[in-house]
């Protein structure tokens, strides 16, 4: 079973772990897996999302306090996260820079 919103594979869940969508509607994919995976991949790459405001605030606070958590979350938003929009990626780069500077200040 696949989430109808983001296309992630979900088994025996009420909500999608990837996007939080309630799984009352889902996709049953029985055709060629290669074709189906390519279709889902194309659909997922079209839709960009912004990061959660609460997590972004937490990451900035962690970065300002000199924690590696802020740096790691910045890297997630900048590089590792799935389909983040340009604004969220920019915030990720800023988190990493602020966190790195704060970590250098705190460690000296």
| pLDDT at res. 44 | 53
| pLDDT at res. 16 | 74
pLDDT by residue (tens digit) across 8-61? 766 777 777 677 777 665 445 444 444 455 555 555 555 777 788 888 888 888
For 6, phi then psi, to 5°, come to -110, -15
Q: Concatenate the DSSP letters of all residues of the chain into one string.
A: -EETTT--B-SS-SB-TTT--BTTSEE---S-HHHHHHHHHHHHHH--BPPPHHHHHHHHHHHHTT-HHHHHHHHIIIIISSSB-HHHHHHHHHHHHHHHHHHHHHH-
| pLDDT at res. 93 | 92
Q: Across residues 73-77, what is the average pLDDT?
A: 88
Query: By percentage, how much of the chain surpasses pLDDT 90?
Result: 6
Q: What is the pTM of this model?
A: 0.54
| pLDDT at res. 43 | 57
| pLDDT at res. 46 | 59
């Amino acid at each position: 079973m696949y989430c109808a919103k983001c296309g992630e594979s979900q088994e025996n869940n009420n909500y999608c772990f990837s996007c939080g969508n309630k799984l009352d509607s889902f996709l049953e994919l029985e055709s060629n897996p290669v074709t189906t995976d390519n279709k889902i991949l194309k659909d997922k790459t079209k839709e960009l999302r912004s990061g959660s405001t609460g997590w972004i605030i937490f990451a900035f606070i962690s970065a300002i306090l000199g924690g590696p958590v802020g740096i790691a979350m910045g890297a997630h938003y900048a590089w590792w996260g799935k389909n983040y929009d340009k604004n969220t990626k920019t915030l990720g780069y800023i988190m990493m820079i602020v966190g790195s500077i704060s970590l250098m200040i705190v460690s000296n």
